[in-house]
Structure 1
Amino acid sequence: MSGQHSPALGEPTDPDIDLHVPAQRHGRQGPVIAVIAVGGALGAAARYGASLLWPTPSGEFPWTTLIVNAIGCAVIGIFLVVITDLWAAHRLVRPFFGTGVLGGFTTFSTYAADIQHLVATDHARTALMYLAGTLLAALGAVWCSAAATRRLISRRSR
């Protein structure tokens, strides 16, 4: 990350945009929004395809959503290491693939809705296992894939 922070909140800002550059403050967001929309549609279509191939019966553990989220998080870990440590990507690659495709593919809103549905249908134990399992799988997938990618990159550069 670039280390830029929002002066008001002390929070990180988007490293792809430097608000000190007038061209990046005004009017250049159209292409970014367009690639995010296209990527999001592709990612959501892939996720929907997975849900059709492996549907989850009511009250059952939502394995498809957990696996989709874990795979998406693993790819995010690989992708972010590659574009930050190895490859100087075009400015639209990260919004298209990272935010769009992978943001559309992973589905934490479905995760939350699945938990709510499981609790509402008296499957609280399954909901709790799903809540914890997805969190561990997603965070573990990002961490492991990013670490493995960094190791591979460092071996290649020796």
Structure 2
Amino acid sequence: MIDLDETDRALVRALAEDATASAGALGRALGLSQPACWRRIKRLREAGVFRGAQVELDVQALGFGVTVFLGVKLAAKGRAGVEDFERAVQAIPEVQTVEHVLGAYDYRLRVVARDISDFERVLRRRVMTLPGVGNLDANVLLSEERRPGPLG
């Protein structure tokens, strides 16, 4: 774990809001020179604070109007069953995230679809045919609000 000072925390917050910001612009906003800001970003990246840069997609703009969270309980809990499930679920393009969780279900999936009938097709033809799937529980997303992370 890396020790972060207030400037590091402000830098992390700024990059969490806009990962495309230049070191020069970030430095000006934080009262640092561009080289000093770049060195801090490099140190944070090397320490593993940043896992990479991502493009955040607007799924509705891409035609996906429904998001469903699926709780998946595996029928068998053996290592082979878990690995088979994880490998197979990664091949479903509508599944945006796969989270291995502790609780009533073994996995939580975030699934996008064009509409409810499209979701039903994904559920029946793809998710329910995954190896090891036992029980499923679906929750349809009504709205979503982004909240700042622990450093926000």
TM superposition score normalised by structure 1: 0.22
Structure with greater strand percent: 2
Of structures 1 and 2, the one with the larger relative CO (CA 8 A, separation 6+) is: 1
Q: Flag the structure with larger Rg.
A: 2
Structure with greater helix percent: 1
